[in-house]
Amino acid sequence: MLYGVYVYQCSNSLGRASRILEPFVERSHESIRQWVQRLAPVCDEFDVDRRLVTAVFVDETMIRIRGREAWVVSIADALRPQPEKATAP
């Protein structure tokens, strides 16, 4: 669900996010909208200026669950280091 919300945030379109996720999981734009609403408090904590992202690392692994194939996808952003802000005495 969290990756679906991430895709929505990047694409800024529920329909586009649904189409992007289609090869991995079949979800309607309404399902993604519900995810966005449910996970909004969590997502607010991870608001990052996109200009600070220097790379995106993606790893995927196929696993079997009760005889069925499933994909586990892990994604991480590398952020450009920021100068430390001076604190007032």
- What CA–CA distance (Å, rounded) separates 10 from 43? 12
What is the rounded distance in angstroms from the CA atom of residue 5 to the CA atom of residue 63? 23
pLDDT in tens, 22-47: 877 777 888 878 887 887 787 776 66
Angle between helices 2-11 and 14-21 (to 10 degrees): 130
| Strand positions, DSSP E, 1-89 | 53-65, 68-79
Q: Residue 35: is it exposed, middle or buried by C-beta count within 10 angstroms (0-12/13-18/19+)?
A: buried
pLDDT in tens, 37-85: 887 787 776 666 777 777 778 888 889 989 999 888 887 767 666 666 6
Does the predicted TM-score (pTM) go above 0.75?
no
